[in-house]
Amino acid sequence: MTRVLSEVQTHHCPAELIERRDVSANLATFRFRIAERPAFTAGQYATISIAVDGDVVERPYSIVSSPHEPFLEFFIELVPGGNITPKLWELKLGSTILVRRRIVGQFILDTSVTHHLMLATVTGVAPFVSILRTQQIEREREATPNDHFVVIHGASHSADLGPYRNELDALSHAGWLTYIPTVSRPWAEPSWKGETGRIEDIMRKHADRLGFDHSNSAAYACGHPQMVANVKEILARARFRKDQIKEENYFRLDAPDQ
């Protein structure tokens, strides 16, 4: 989707790249400073816009950072030949892009329950990190939420879990979060000692072990659309109602053109 630059200026604000961390050749985290930092709820997404030859190319990305943090952070996968991610990879520190002022999305915490089963492939962990950072900050401010979380984070290789593997592992020491990273190609990584298999292969085992079920939990699936479809079927068989399952697909299988 494109927009003429002059038509979007009133709906966007400039964002300066202040930090970039390359996770792999095709994965990176980006932090932007925005003078007019927009309000949002943890779990929502922002629309990033980049000017290209007088037009603006836009794509939505889940926000990693908490609303309490003074920057917007994203975990993004490069799509070679895509419309926007190759341009993001060309950015240097100090480069400026545009971000829509209005941040939206319904992939937020279900406050009707206290148990939250979160399932993510690679960059799909982004909204969960935002939610969990927010939980940590509010707990440090003497808020006393009674929520408990399980995050099952899957990737082909452990490097693709990004810096969030260590961050979530550290958060899990407080007792209110259980973080389970899993790799689906352990034969390529003999040193890996953690869980193995796809999310849909191991989800029920860990949910049952930890007591997360349809009677007390909401489930959230984010990332690869095939994973999302598979876990929705498994959860339905486990008696989760449709309104107990939230989903966020990062692309369509027939059009991954970011």
pLDDT (tens digit per residue) in 94-119: 999 999 999 999 999 999 999 999 99
DSSP annotation of 10 reads G
Residue 108 lies in a domain: no
Task: Return the pLDDT at 3.
Answer: 45
pLDDT at 33 over 70: yes
Given 100, 128, 145, which residue is the final one in a domain? 100
Query: What pLDDT was estimated at residue 81?
Result: 87
The predicted model gives 44-49 an average pLDDT of 95
Say what percent of the chain tops pLDDT 70.
93
Are 240 and 123 within one domain? Answer: yes
Whether residues 130 and 229 share a domain: the answer is yes
Count: domains in the chain: 2
- Strand 72-77 with 96-100, pairing: unpaired
Domain of residue 54: give its range: 2-100
Q: Using CA atoms, how far apart are residues 97 and 34, in angstroms rounded to an integer?
A: 10
pTM of the model: 0.93
Kindly write down the DSSP assignment for every residue of 91-144, as one continuous string. --TT-EEEEES--B-S----TT-SEEEEEEEGGGGHHHHHHHHHHHHHHHTT--
So what's the pLDDT on residue 252? 61
Query: What average pLDDT does this structure show over 66-86?
Result: 94
pLDDT at 229: 96
pLDDT band at 233 (very low <50, low <70, confident <90, very high): very high
* pLDDT tops 70 at residue 1: no
Instruction: Count other C-beta atoms under 10 Å from residue 216's C-beta.
Output: 12
pLDDT of 165 strictly over 50? yes
Task: Please report whether residue 191 resides in a domain.
Answer: yes
Confidence of residue 56 (pLDDT cuts 50, 70, 90): confident
**Residues 51 and 133 grouped into a single domain:** no
Residue 105 lies in a domain: no
**pLDDT band, very low/low/confident/very high, at 145 (cuts 50, 70, 90):** confident
- The CATH number covering residue 9 comes to 2.40.30.10
Residues 229 and 189 in one domain: yes
Clarify whether residues 136 and 179 are in a common domain: yes
pLDDT at 256 over 90: no
In a domain, 161, yes or no: yes
Confidence label for 82 from pLDDT (cuts 50, 70 and 90): confident
Is residue 254 very low, low, confident or very high in pLDDT (cuts 50, 70, 90)? low
Same domain membership, residue 167 and residue 65: no
pLDDT of residue 154: 97
Same domain, 22 and 124: no
- Please report which confidence band the pLDDT of residue 255 belongs to, taking 50, 70 and 90 as the band edges: low
Distance CA 157, CA 254 (A): 24
Residue 9 lies in a domain: yes
Residue 117 phi, psi dihedral angles, 5° rounding: -100, 110
Q: What span, in angstroms and rounded, lies between the C-alpha atoms of 238 and 235? A: 5
Same domain, yes or no: 87 and 143: no
Q: What is the mean pLDDT of the chain?
A: 92
The answer, yes or no, to whether residue 258 has pLDDT greater than 60, is no
Amino acid at 226: Q
In a domain, 237, yes or no: yes
